[in-house]
Structure 1
């Protein structure tokens, strides 16, 4: 098939809008409302779980054996661990990220009473006071604090502002879209994946593409803390492709260009047949592609399988430099991801046995297998 034309202006506009919304895990209501509105604008009927995970089903030729595309709306962030005697805030991270990338960040503090602004600083922040101590201090969350932009220099004054233990801290994204296609921002994981998924859906709707089965567009709200797609996968879903970031770093094969096909993450190999199908779609549609394996990484697909959903899973990624830090991607990768999503959802259903949750061996998949006697197995 020929890949659908992806509207990169639409993709960029959605990404800008998503990045402008604070959504650390546990504080995702606003971004859920935004994405729900956009899905409805695209003609989807939307369902929400109690806490706000989103399912939008686009009807295909068959309900059973459905396919799912899953991304996550939540980002990294922090919570107030302690209101200190000096009126500043000790923090604990939401999700796994280094305090190195928190130092110097501007942030919103969301209390039950309102919003306050502040900066995250090392405990020794003034070179004029601490001299070399600024450079020699330890790195870690106990060694930073959040300075509130309000009249407070004591615990009592901060508490009087309505700020207390457990309040959510959202880190400013500091987004920059460059003319050469690079995008630099915090929280590209996974708002770039959400934007690419929406762009693929927009192309499918615009071109009125037919799909052999229903397509479930899923958006989760707690991937960064490991919950992910545990409670959003419907029984009729047979295969699920997660869209998330790939790490462009020494020892990795991900790239900021083209789509990265993940072969395995820390939970083990992805489904052999679904992954091969995605690779074949890239080759057949001339979508730039590379493979990678992630040792310290898991995504929505892992949480779904661990929760007991018997679905084939795969992961496609856009290469991110400095993941979970001040991240950088390129529009080329996002376009390639969206192209692959659109090609996948419209591709023929090859493993027809997957329509049923349980069946016999007839039609069961096959993999290459070699004898152990040194022969070729041919003849």
Structure 2
């Protein structure tokens, strides 16, 4: 379309983000956040389907059904689980997802028991300087060296069990969100609720503007990304392109910035699709969307899960620039705005290749990375074997 910009409801984005953050959703405990997201889609008049466990596949009808595209963000977050009812009246825990116990220490949390909820605090094994002196600074940092003090009268394992606490209970840490006047947004679990809010806002822009994408678009909301399986479900054969929206890592040695959207070129699962990635870069450049390119060495997303599940689709990853991933994360309104704009423009763009509407086909219409005219032979090519010989080898003797 020739339209230069799509009106985006940034108030809706921030309000939706805060509402999402208020709903606990560690992996395995995502029913409530799935219900909330389904409610948002219903309010916008967007049809959707849910898998058995609660992943959501919505549909924005396009001018043509194929080659369809998916845009995915994950509803699940990190968390913890009770692994031991300890004799001292505290709980031993293990993480849900991959994160450091350093960022659990001191965190307030809710334990979801079979019968209700119990509040508590995650603490190191040695907490009081008045009791342990310098030992509180020298104790190791690991999940084996933290425990949860629940806010019930408990001095023994029996007391904990009487309060309804059991091994396998899920824990959600308080997100503690804060939106600063200068635009910074700080919270646990911006990964990936900020991207979910951005995707819902892009969907709202389409519905509010009565826009029709060139091809069918399927917003996907997954529930197990933090443990690796993510978008392995809810896809179907018509989907040819999949764009993952997730957190992007601002850190020393990275090119990501907290005030921009990042277009990831490669993560630990390998390079993303060349053509889809360059398409996103082209959109960002054309519409002056603040963006960075980056490579993430210790990172995987819904895209990896989709490909590993056997889906032959083009994949790409874009993210909101953020500091301190899987800890107290921080991003900026500008990054969320850039992510939402790039998502909306991509949603309304033509597919990478019309040929992609079929899973198998001929060479006709196949993409090109290096055209024949680019494959120029150097003016001084490297010598071939034998070029250094200055005599006839059949004559015998050594070459000069």
Residue in 2 that maps onto 1:173: 175
The offset of 1:46, in angstroms, is 1.5
Q: 1:170-319 alignment to 2 at 5 Å? A: 170-319=172-321
CA distance in 2, matches of 1:305, 1:345: 21
Q: Do structure 1's residue 374 and structure 2's residue 378 form an aligned pair?
A: yes
- What is the DSSP-based 3-state SS (H/G/I as helix, E as strand, rest coil) of the residue aligned with 2:294? strand
Residue in 1 that maps onto 2:395: none
- What is the DSSP-based 3-state SS (H/G/I as helix, E as strand, rest coil) of the residue aligned with 1:170? strand
How many correspondences in the alignment? 377
Residue in 1 that maps onto 2:131: 129
The offset of 1:371, in angstroms, is 4.8
The offset of 1:3, in angstroms, is 2.6
The offset of 1:168, in angstroms, is 0.1
CA distance in 2, matches of 1:196, 1:137: 41
CA distance in 1, matches of 2:175, 2:318: 23
CA distance in 1, matches of 2:154, 2:11: 44
Listed as ranges, the gaps of 5+ residues in structure 2 are: 382-400
Cα-to-partner distance string for 1:140-190 (whole Å, 9 max, x where unaligned): 000000000001110011011111111001010011111111110000000
Structure 1 residues 357 and 137, CA, compared in 2 at 3 Å: closer, same or farther?
Answer: same
Q: 1:4-153 alignment to 2 at 5 Å? A: 4-153=6-155
CA distance in 1, matches of 2:48, 2:351: 25
- What is the DSSP-based 3-state SS (H/G/I as helix, E as strand, rest coil) of the residue aligned with 1:361? coil
TM-score under structure 1 length normalisation: 0.97
Q: Report if the CA contact (8 A) 2:258-2:320 is conserved.
A: yes
- What is the DSSP-based 3-state SS (H/G/I as helix, E as strand, rest coil) of the residue aligned with 1:58? coil
- What is the DSSP-based 3-state SS (H/G/I as helix, E as strand, rest coil) of the residue aligned with 1:5? coil
Q: Report if the CA contact (8 A) 1:5-1:339 is conserved.
A: no
Q: Which has the higher Rg, Structure 1 or Structure 2?
A: 2
CA distance in 2, matches of 1:4, 1:258: 18
TM-score under structure 2 length normalisation: 0.92
Q: Report if the CA contact (8 A) 2:276-2:352 is conserved.
A: no
Q: Report if the CA contact (8 A) 1:3-1:342 is conserved.
A: no
Cα-to-partner distance string for 1:290-314 (whole Å, 9 max, x where unaligned): 1000000000011000000111000
Which one is further off, 235-244 or 203-212? 203-212
The offset of 1:350, in angstroms, is 4.2
Residue in 1 that maps onto 2:338: 336
